[in-house]
Amino acid sequence: MSMLEYTSKFMMLTCFVATFVADEKLKMNYLEVGLNPNINERIFVHQNTAYMGLYDTATNVDRVMKKRNNYFSE
């Protein structure tokens, strides 16, 4: 599942567990749990304090990883 697919599904499902993601930090923690371990490892150094910052960082890491994989597979 791509990063964009994962985050859109995550956002769609948060309406069913509003109490679990009511706090911005909890929402970020739950998002991080389901991330690809390679992405999670790379975003660990970024100290995001908001969900959108975490989302942007993870999306950018995913994009760069795919670009790198495509470069080395050619």
pLDDT digits (tens, 9 = 90+) for 31-71: 888 898 999 999 888 888 898 999 999 999 999 999 999 98
Contact between 5 and 34 (Cβ < 8 Å): no
> Hey, how many other C-beta atoms are within 10 angstroms of the C-beta on 39?
20
Contact between 6 and 35 (Cβ < 8 Å): yes
pLDDT interval class at 14 (50, 70, 90): confident
Spatial separation of the C-alpha atoms in residues 54 and 71, rounded to whole Å: 26
pLDDT at 61: 92
pLDDT at 63: 92
> Hey, how many other C-beta atoms are within 10 angstroms of the C-beta on 60?
15
